[in-house]
Every structure is written in C-alpha cells, then in structure tokens.
Amino acid sequence: MEENPVHKPRNSFRLEQNEQTLVLVLGDIITATIALFASLWIWSLGDTWLGLSKEFFLVRIPAWFYLLPLFWAVLLVDSYDVRKGGNMKATLKSMSVSFVVAAIIYLVIYFASEPESLPRFAVAVFLVLAVLFTLIWRLIYVRLFSQVSQQRRALIIGAGRAGSTLAKVVSEQDPAPFNLIGLIDDDGEKQGKLIEGFPVVGCHEDLDRIIAEQNITDLILAISNEMSPGMFQTILQAQEDGLNMSTMQGAYEALTNRIPISLLASDWVIRSFIERKPTSGFYRLTMRLIDLVLGLIGMAGLIVLYPLIAILIKIDSNGPVIFKQIRLGRGGKPYTIYKFRTMVLSQDMENEALVTSTNDPRITAIGRFLRKSHLDEIPQIVNVMRGEMSFVGPRSERSELVSIFQREVPFYRARMLVKPGITGWAQIHQNYAETIEETAVKLEYDLYYIENASVLMDITIIIRTISNVLGFKGR
C-alpha cells in the first residue's frame, strides 16, 4: 500500500498581524528618533556659542523635546492597521492627516508662546524630517510587505458558504494579504469552478500533490459541515508536516477586524464571551477612570463652546438647542441621550428612529456642519459623566430600531453587553449604516470590539477618532 508523501516542515519567515504592527510602530519611532537628532544637529549649527557640545544638550534642549518621536508615532496611529500600512495610498493619506494635525498644534504653540521661550525652529525642522524619513521607511515597508505576502501561498479547505465568503474577502483586499492559490472541496460538482475568481483545484485526495507542486505554506479551514475522515486525516498530516493552519473565523477577523456573524452557530455569543469575558472588573474600572478624566476635559470644552453653538442653532432654525432622545444602553436599559439639535423642529424629530440618510433634508445648515465636525456629539459628555455611556463602545439605538434589527440581524442584542459609546470600533471603520446589510456589517465590528476589548484598544480608537473628526468625516 502506497504511503502518503511526507513534506518537509516549512520554516519560511513570517510575521503575525500583531508582529507586523509592532514592526511598523518601532520603525516609525526609530526613523522619528533619527529625525530628532538630525534636527538637533541642524539646530546646533546656528548656535555659535555652544555648538554641538555637552552644554548644548544640557542648556538648550528641554526634556520634552526628546518625546517628539513618541508624539509623532501617536499621530500615525491610524496607519497602524496592517492593511493600511501595506497600502502606499492609504499610508500617504494617514501621513498627510498626521502632518496637518502636527502643524496645527505647532502653529498654536508658536503663536501662543513667548519669543525665544521654546525651540520652535527645531520642532519645525523635526516635523519636516520626520515626514521625510517616515515616508522613506514606509516605502521600504510596503515593498517588504508585498514580497512577504506573495511568499505566503494559501489554500482554503472548503468551497461552501464559509469558503466562498473568505475568498470574497481576500479578493477585496488591497494589497493582497497572501497569495490564494485556490480552494479544496470533496464535492465533485464544484471541481474546476471559479469561486470569487479563485479555482476549486481538487479534493482531499489531491491535497498532498497540490501542496508539493504549488509550495503551499498556509491552509485555512472553512468547512462548516461535517468533515469526512479522509479530509480530516489529510489536514492532520499537513499540520504535522509544518504547514500553518488557521480557521475561517480567525482569518476573517484578521483580514476585516470583524466577526462573521452570518457563519456562526446560534450559541456562539454565549460560548465566546464565557471563554473571553469582555467586561472584566479591572477593564471596566480603568475605562471608567479614563471616562471621568476625559469627561472633565470635555465638560470644560462644552462650557466654552455651548454659547456659540447655541446662538448658531437658534439663528439657523427654531427649536431647542439640545436634542433629547431615549436610547437603549447596557443590558437594554433605557436612558436619555443629549446632542446638539441638527434637524428642523417638526414631527419628524420624534420619528428619528428612521435612519439618517445621505443629504437628509431634515438636517439644517448649521446642523450639517455640526455633524461633519462631530460637534453635535459633545453634549453626550453629560451621559458619560452620569455613567450611562462610555467614550468608547457600540453606538446606542432607539428601541424601535433595536426591535427591527433583532429580527433581521443575528446576535444584534449582544452589542448591549457593554456600555454604548460616543465613538467605537465600528464608527472608525464604517460610515453610518442605512440598510440592514450595512447594519449587519457594523454589528460585526461591534462584536469584534466586544470580544477583543482592552484599554489599549480603547485608547487607539479615541486617537483614531480625533483623526476622523479633523477629517470632517461625520454625516
């Protein structure tokens, strides 16, 4: 009896998604540090008294100046998504926003400080060099990312609904996360067919041959039904031979930062959140402290901006300055949300359970600006201080919409396991949802956040939200 061929373990170099992010961050900090010392050298050239000496570093340079590389890395946080980091167009966009934000902060400090009180010239030189050096590093990273991605050669095991969904996700990625050779399925009717542009190249009996001929490095299991004994043994052998194995759900989450709700079993929420409890006591306490600190800052901003915004709203249209609405919070508990009014005062105000659409005629002129700039959200600081909301969490909805979505979208109620937020994982990844399909995608983001919530993730969301606000991406 002929034995299955034995494959040598593949020890090809690869980095997981979190490791790629770490490489990006470290690379940015290193290049920014080089920019820092280059700016110090240029600064010293103009110092005819001290020059580049020990006294120059002790006398001229304030301690905070050495933190500029970390400040620059924080501004680039929106580009630390692996897919954006590997896409030069997305990288340039993120860097442009970061530079504009840094330039605005620099100009405010420049004109607010006394002459000669701060190293303003050196900071300006640092920003220019940081952009230049980071751009060079990112060009190198994109080239390396593309080469490493092509070295990963993958097969999807299963050409059913799960496999087709994953193939569609891979086809939509730019740049491609790996080189998808095709799919494997034991259904004879699927052999030779194209699924989302990728061929079904054989069945489990062909797997050894295909792995050897195509130099496969990764297998992604996407079999939702019962697996045949032959398929199981072949996959087990491939894993023993050193191939990288992953599940469809794991690959889907890594590629999209979402949970594939249409492909999960009905008890997934219970099993998943028992294994990975999303709201531990330490996490909730830490985020409550962060909410209170940011809330105090936000209340100061609300007090300063309220008179001006109130006057503009009153001039633009009749009605109250503050819009109140009953929403459902954590555990489905109702609470009153506060926002600056952005719509005309009419019966439609009470029917705002209707999803706001693009170019909605109910939105006033000043209301459109408030929505674009997200200034209409500021009164929700009151909800945060009262403990009804957090800065980060799923968007709250009215009970009427919740009732509809619970019938149409699987697991929708699970988003109420945590407090609603002013911003959230879904808000920074997707525009406003107008349809059931878009609501389902938004829920996938919300569930991914709930399953992976951490203090670091929340801080990242807050920083990326600032980037979205400055980009006027509201509606």
Phi-psi map region of 319: left, alpha, beta (phi>0 left; psi -120 to 50 alpha)? left
Q: Which residues contact 233 (CB under 8 A, 6 or more apart)?
A: none
DSSP 325: E
What is the CA 258 to chain-centroid distance, rounded? Answer: 10
- Rounded to whole angstroms, the Cα distance separating 36 from 67 reads 9
* Bridge partner residues of 246 (DSSP): 220
pLDDT above 70 for 277: no
E-only strand ranges, 303-388: 322-328, 334-340
* Residue-wise pLDDT tens digits, 451-467: 888 888 888 888 888 77
What is the model's pTM?
Answer: 0.80
- Token pair in block for residue 158: 């299963």
Number of neighbours of residue 148 by Cβ within 10 angstroms: 16
Is residue 441 within 8 A of residue 172, CB to CB? The reply is no
pLDDT above 50 for 421: yes
- Token pair in block for residue 288: 């409550």
* Residue-wise pLDDT tens digits, 117-170: 667 788 889 999 999 999 999 999 888 877 777 788 899 998 888 999 999 999
- Rounded to whole angstroms, the Cα distance separating 336 from 333 reads 10
Half-sphere exposure of 435 (CA within 13 A, CB side): 3
Which of 4-8, 326-330, 348-352, 371-375 holds the top average pLDDT?
326-330
- Rounded to whole angstroms, the Cα distance separating 35 from 134 reads 9
CB-count burial class (<10 Å; 0-12, 13-18, 19+) for 177: buried
Lowest mean pLDDT among 273-277, 380-384, 395-399: 273-277
- Rounded to whole angstroms, the Cα distance separating 293 from 384 reads 11
* Residue-wise pLDDT tens digits, 240-254: 888 888 888 888 988
- Rounded to whole angstroms, the Cα distance separating 109 from 42 reads 21
Number of neighbours of residue 1 by Cβ within 10 angstroms: 2
- Rounded to whole angstroms, the Cα distance separating 386 from 380 reads 10
pLDDT above 60 for 432: yes
State the pLDDT at residue 11. 45
- Domain 152-256: give its CATH code: 3.40.50.720
State the pLDDT at residue 126. 92
Any alpha helices (H) in 262-380, and if so which ranges?
A: 268-275, 281-316, 365-373
When pLDDT is cut at 50, 70 and 90, the band that residue 200 belongs to is very high
State the pLDDT at residue 5. 47
E-only strand ranges, 345-419: 390-392
- Rounded to whole angstroms, the Cα distance separating 156 from 9 reads 19
State the pLDDT at residue 273. 65
- Rounded to the nearest integer, the mean pLDDT of the chain is 83
Is residue 174 within 8 A of residue 87, CB to CB? The reply is yes
- Rounded to whole angstroms, the Cα distance separating 385 from 299 reads 9
State the pLDDT at residue 6. 43
* Residue-wise pLDDT tens digits, 48-78: 555 566 666 676 778 888 889 998 988 888 7
Query: Residue 80 phi/psi, 5° resolution?
Result: -85, 5
189 vs 185, 192, 205, 210, 475, CA distance in Å?
A: 9, 8, 16, 19, 47
* Residue-wise pLDDT tens digits, 202-246: 888 888 899 989 989 899 998 877 777 888 888 888 888 888 888
In the chain, CATH 3.40.50.720 covers 152-256
